[in-house]
Chains A and B, each alone.
Chain A
Amino acid sequence: MTVTKAGHSDQPQRAPGPAAAAPASGGSPAALPGRQPWPYLALLIPPTGIPAVRKHLAARRAARTGDSFAARALAAEAATWSWYSAALAFTLLLVAFAVLFLTANDHAVIQKFFNPGVLRSSAPAVLRGFLVNVELFLIAEVLVLPWALFVACLRMLPGPASRPIRALGIGYVDLFRGLPAVVAIYLIAFGFPIAGLPVLGSMTGFELCVLALVLIYGAYVSEVFRAGLQSVHWSQAAAARSLGLSYVQTLRHVIAPQAIRRMIPPLLNDFIGLQKDTALVSFVGLLDAFNQSRIVASNEFNLSAVTGVGIAFVLITIPTARLVDRLTARDARRRQGSLA
């Protein structure tokens, strides 16, 4: 339309690349001040839309008075506010869909998934069941650590003499990482008693489930240990050995302390997986939270109790997840050297 009066027709005042792709709901890519009508769309989201339009108008005024420098700055600000509007609009749209989903069919979803009455009445049984899950994963997590360390050590034994032992370790890890957890639990918890094995056959269902979880997650965690120890550069070991430290001293004072920091985030990730997988024991008849809630669900023809179990699992993994985030961020900072 019009060229700015500053006369910079050879330099169209465009905002940086991505702004050009701004969604229509959001607003202006803030090209030539005084030409773009898009910022007005941002008014659909007043808190960010009003500043967007005001900056846009100011940019136009500045362009008219010939202050192209200020015009560009203001146009850039207008674009920023427009982007805020676009992001907010997008978020609100999705929230609206979610609300629509929950309230559709005369609040059917809320009724069947979040019925307060059912949630309340099933809570005691579900929480009692959840204690079984908590017990399962706490015991399994404690047992997994030494077991996985043992397996990792087997796989890291040096020298040609230990080749068969290493192969055994690889076979175990391959087997239990490949086997679906539910299949492993099924085979161990049902199979061992049926086979009438000594000791193993007389273990309780709970104990067999712990055993299955330890075997499955031992495979994952041993890989975490192995990768962690091997991630420490060999020159660190060379430096320690050159000072006269023995192999074990080197591992203990130099390699392990550096490796453990790197192992904790993936280790906690595996623990989150383990916590969730305790729900699988309901398939072998253990009365855990999921099993309790399924009984409620079939009696009441309402899934709210199962939703309650879901909420309990999510709540209990959130602290671990945040901890992983923080440790990962700390690690990243450390690698950049801004933290000692």
Chain B
Amino acid sequence: MPQEVERYRKPTRILHWINAGAFVLLFLTGLILFIPQLGFLAQDSWTRVIHRIAAVIFVIIPLWYLLSNWKASWKSIKEAFTWGAEDIGWLQAAPRYYFLNDKKGMPPQGHMNTGQKMWWLIVIVFGTIFVITGAIMWFAKTIAPAAVLQWMVFVHDIAFIVTGCMLFVHIYLGVLHPLMTEAWGSMARGKVSAEYAKSHHGKWYEEVTKGKEVKS
């Protein structure tokens, strides 16, 4: 059996999949508003009810995770906002790497590479924007001035476009990209091979294996 390293603990993976499910529901029930031909699906407010149920899950589950894993979560959130020379290096080297499998100039990456960090940052920032604008549209619908509600829709939809497009990129890299052979396994089973970890997250691999043998 090849050597493996753990990338995501079980609670993290459960959080990921519950939130992924909620987000896809939110995405699809929101997308209908962009496609008038599918308007019949939204009749009698069904998609609005689903959108709200998914929204509650989308808020409650991460909050619960955040509070029960406060230290790790806080570290991870801080990491999303910490950018350095290695990230610039990644950004410069990324196009050649992701198109041509050319690793030249690609700095060794930590547990999150810069691309993943970018996605994580977008999730934090736009997730918060989603929740704030969504809560105003939900609970202040009958009291807020019409213009406020309209601009909330505007901001909500900018977040929708940004996160929706990045979701495509995220799913693509996790499932389809020819080089990301073990990305799916890392979130499905939680483990990747030592070889994959070394080549994709060199810096992190050094950290977790420093001074000890990797368990097989």
Co-complex (A, B):
no
Please list the residues of chain A having a beta carbon within 8 angstroms of any beta carbon in chain B.
none
